[in-house]
């Protein structure tokens, strides 16, 4: 959609390694097929996708422009009577969806800390952040290809729960980072909705927790993650699974996310 040296929104059927190769159950096989969606599936795929150019600041501006570029839009009514806004790029949203997703950000009064079973630490090579995981549950892969969205990808052994770290060396206002992530998610799933969003203190660092769900290729998926930014850069520490499996994996999700630490 944009030229080289800007953000690339690729069409499907471009294989990537930012999602784990999975097999076994129907869900795992479906996730494997979704690897062909590249940044269409990774909603945070490129809040600022790196092309090793000197256009990083411009890249962010381009993405901001993309998020709000649907000025010339039309309205239509679905068979169920809902009003939708049709954008020129072929995407659509419900007319009242913007208000539904403007969730007030409050501070969660609880203090969140690393689980005692999270004994293995991975350090980011791009920021001053690190991630404590339970090596008995989680496997990980470090992506050395600088064109990949995720610095690390994770999965829980024998399950359908996955995770990733997306790191960038550009500092972004925390609230803006979350907004960009959500806007990018909607490019993959027009029905994407924010379920929960709040500030949290995690290992003495202020982050934003955001949980959102949507439908991609007829599959209901939920993303849950922490968003953080400081002078060393911006980090999205994320988990994702089938929406019907969130309750089952809630403890594993919380333990994983609460392994986030800043080393500044």
* Domain boundaries of the chain, sorted by first residue: 26-71+101-262
Packing angle, helices 174-188 and 56-67, rounded to 10: 60
Query: What was the pLDDT predicted at 47?
Result: 42
CA atoms within 13 A on the CB side of 17: 11
Query: What was the pLDDT predicted at 185?
Result: 87
Nearest to 136 by CA among 224, 262, 256, 261: 256
Query: What was the pLDDT predicted at 84?
Result: 67
Domain 26-71+101-262 -> CATH class: alpha beta
Answer whether 0.75 is exceeded by the pTM: no
Compute the distance between CA of residue 51 and CA of residue 62 in angstroms, rounded to an integer: 14
Exposure string for 29-61, b = 16+ CB within 10 A, e = fewer: ebbeebbbbbbbbbbbbbbbbbbeeeeeeebbe
Query: What was the pLDDT predicted at 56?
Result: 39
Q: Are 114 and 134 in contact (CB under 8 A)?
A: no
Place of tokens 């929406």: 243
Taking only the tens of pLDDT, the chain with its 264 residues reads 333 333 332 333 332 223 332 222 334 444 444 444 444 444 444 443 434 333 333 333 333 333 333 334 466 666 556 666 676 656 666 666 554 455 678 999 999 999 999 999 999 999 999 999 999 999 999 987 665 779 999 999 889 999 999 999 999 999 999 998 998 888 888 899 999 999 999 999 999 999 999 998 888 999 999 999 999 999 999 999 999 999 999 999 999 999 999 986
Exposure string for 158-178, b = 16+ CB within 10 A, e = fewer: ebbbbbbbbbbebebebeebb
């Amino acid at each position: 959609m944009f030229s080289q040296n800007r953000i690339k929104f690729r069409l499907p059927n471009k294989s990537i390694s930012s999602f784990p190769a999975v097999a076994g159950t129907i869900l795992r096989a479906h996730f494997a097929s979704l690897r062909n969606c590249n940044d269409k599936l990774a909603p945070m795929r490129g809040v600022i996708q790196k092309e090793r150019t000197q256009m990083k600041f411009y890249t962010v501006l381009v993405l901001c422009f993309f998020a709000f570029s649907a000025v010339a839009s039309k309205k239509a009514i679905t068979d169920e009577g809902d009003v939708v806004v049709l954008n020129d790029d072929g995407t659509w949203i419900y007319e009242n969806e913007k208000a539904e997703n403007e969730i007030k950000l409050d501070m969660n009064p609880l203090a969140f800390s690393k689980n005692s079973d999270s004994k293995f630490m991975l350090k980011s090579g791009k920021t001053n952040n690190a991630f404590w995981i339970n090596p008995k549950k989680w496997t990980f892969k470090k992506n050395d290809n600088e064109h990949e969205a995720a610095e690390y990808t994770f999965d829980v052994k024998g399950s359908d729960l996955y995770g990733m770290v997306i790191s960038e060396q550009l500092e972004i206002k925390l609230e803006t980072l979350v907004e960009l992530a959500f806007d990018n998610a909607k490019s993959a799933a027009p029905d994407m909705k924010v379920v929960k969003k709040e500030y949290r203190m995690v290992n003495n660092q202020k982050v934003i927790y955001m949980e959102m769900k949507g439908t991609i290729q007829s599959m209901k998926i939920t993303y849950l993650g922490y968003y953080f930014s400081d002078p060393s850069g911006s980090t999205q520490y994320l988990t994702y699974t089938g929406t019907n499996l969130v309750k089952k994996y809630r403890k594993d999700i919380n333990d994983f996310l609460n392994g986030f630490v800043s080393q500044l």
